[in-house]
Amino acid sequence: MHLKLAASAIAAAVAPTSAFAVDYLSADQAAKLMFPDADTFETRSLTLDAAQMQQLDTQGVRARSANWTVRVAKRAGAALGFVVTDDVVGKVELISYAVGIALDGTVKQVEILSYRESHGAEIRLPAWRKQFVGKGASSALRIGDDISNISGATLSCTHVTDGVRRIVAVVALARRGGALT
């Protein structure tokens, strides 16, 4: 083991803090990773109506949004599964992630697409969040040092696990309604 303290580590309390951001995958890359056998991904836009939103509510799932985009993975015209991407905001972090859902409705895979950490309150500002819309692994955005590792109090991924549950419910509902055939 070899550890070398940074110059600023000594002056810990006064060292400036920086924001931190990592791009892992674009939505397209994640879809291909989850369904490598697919030859096409058809994009469908879902709009849940009031009754569907309420139906989710009764399942204990807050739909949060009426509008969802689902990628249907297909091979030779037959569906292999579905991929949905979403963002969740925590105390200081904005996490984009993708959920792959198999034909039996179970979660096949969850991949984090990007992770962005702010100095704090700005995470709630739409302007701060908007600057990242549409950014993926192929874009040039790099805030933190590319390979830095962060250590600190453990970040909770409750928002992501809640989000995965929501996406599973939304896809199941859409399929029952015949929207994803």
Partner 1 sequence: MNPRAAVLRRARPLLGTLVEVGVFAPGLDTQAAVDAAFAVVAEAQACLSRFDANSDIARFNALRRGERLTVRPITRQVLAAAHELRAATAAAFDISLGSAPDGWALRGAELDKLSDDACLDLGGIGKGHAVDLAVQTLMAHGVAAGWVNAGGDLRTFGNVDTPVQLRDESTGGARAFATLRNGAFATSHFGPESRSQLTTRTSSPPRAHASVAAPLCLWADALTKVVALSGDTSHPLLARYGAAAWLH
- Residues forming the site for partner 1 (CB under 8 A): 1-6, 8-9, 12-13, 15-20, 22, 24-25, 33, 91-93, 95, 97, 110-112, 115, 117-120, 123, 144-158, 160-161, 164
Tell me the closest approach of the beta carbon of residue 123 to partner 1, in angstroms. 8
Name the residue nearer to partner 1 (CB basis): 52 or 81: 81
Determine the Cα–Cα distance for residues 76 and 167; give it in Å rounded to an integer: 26
The answer to whether residues 161 and 60 touch, using CB atoms and an 8 Å cutoff, is: no
Displacement of CA 26 from its chain's centroid (Å)? 10
Looking at the Cβ atoms of 137 and 179, the one nearer to partner 1 is: 137
Nearest distance from C-beta of residue 131 to partner 1, angstroms: 17
Question: To the nearest whole angstrom, how small is the minimum distance from the Cβ of residue 60 to partner 1?
Answer: 17
Query: Least CB distance from residue 29 to partner 1, whole Å?
Result: 10
- Smallest distance, partner 1 to C-beta of residue 51, A: 31
Residue 12 vs 50, nearer CB to partner 1: 12
How far is Cα 180 from Cα 72, in angstroms, rounded to an integer? 7
Measured from the CB atom, the residue of 25 and 48 that comes closer to partner 1 is 25
* Backbone φ and ψ of 128, nearest 5°: -65, -40
Q: Give me Rg for the CA atoms of the chain.
A: 19
Contacts for 30 with CB less than 8 Å, ≥ 6 apart: 83, 85, 98, 100, 111, 113
Q: Please report how close the Cβ of residue 168 comes to partner 1 at its closest, in angstroms.
A: 14
Q: Check: CB of residue 73 under 8 Å from CB of residue 38.
A: yes
Between 65 and 161, CB nearer to partner 1: 161
CB atoms within 10 A of CB 95: 20
Rounded CA gap, 116 and 87, in Å?
Answer: 11
Between residues 75 and 91, which has the closer beta carbon with respect to partner 1? 91
